[in-house]
Structure 1
Amino acid sequence: MNLTKKALVFTLFLVTQFTFAQYTEVINSNRPGVSKSAFSVGTNVLQFEVGPYIIKEEHTPLNYDVSGFGADFTARYGLFFEQLELNIEGIYQNDTYTDNRSTISFEESRSNFKQFAIGAKYLVFDPYKNSEEKDKPNLYSYHANRGFKWSS
């Protein structure tokens, strides 16, 4: 590893020592499986998620190669009240495209956003609000406790 890479890795580890995590009781993460959540992160909470990846493609019929790296990211911010959230999502990729179809191979460096979206979401209906009042156990009936519940 050359000196600049060592300095970059050292700086990265040093900077991570001074960062702080989300301070809410429940961390609302979209990272596992990159799924979406119906609920927001909370009022005045900023959540940032990043997932780096490496790409190495070889396409035999079209005879080209792509190699590089990228990152998918999401920034979420709870605005004004708990039901409203603003979010920014995107995928940034930096790669080298090599075309081997002719006798002279053509190489091109590319870097850009593959996807970029800005949006907002508002929670209209929460089925679990006040659910503790509805889901109290029936002390007299075993079958009523394990039966089908229309609210769920």
Structure 2
Amino acid sequence: MKQLHKKFTDYQIKELITRYLEKKLARKYIQEILGIKKTRFFALVKRLKDDPENFSISYSRRIPTRKISKDIEINIVKELKLEKDLIKTKDVPIKYYNYSFIKDLLEQKYNQKVSLPTIIDRAKKNNFYFLRPKRKTHDREVLTNYPGELIQH
């Protein structure tokens, strides 16, 4: 059980651990109830012993995981604009955006690590995305009179 804070309250866990420390409950029984292993259990015991008044298992993220900084966003758009200029130039044989190249460029040039889906998402939001043309269906008819002979029309 990795997310202990979602299943139990601070008070419940504090109560179980204090009963363990008073030797009223066995460690294995508490571990089974909480769904944790020995290492995690003793880490909780240590935290409770260190600061019993402020003991808490609640968890809150310090930094949101789904957001990127404005600097990275600006650099992605800047590189996408450069790529768009290359695509528009008829002398250069580039037809589509190379998002992997932009990802590598951001890492090398700006020391900013960004995932490929993030770059593609920002490209779609800022109209730097071309839909791939649909492939034409194969409509050739092949006639054969005997095995090994192929005549295409």
TM-score, normalised with respect to structure 2: 0.22
TM-score, normalised with respect to structure 1: 0.22
| Structure with more helix by fraction | 2
Task: Give 1 or 2 for the bigger CA radius of gyration.
Answer: 2
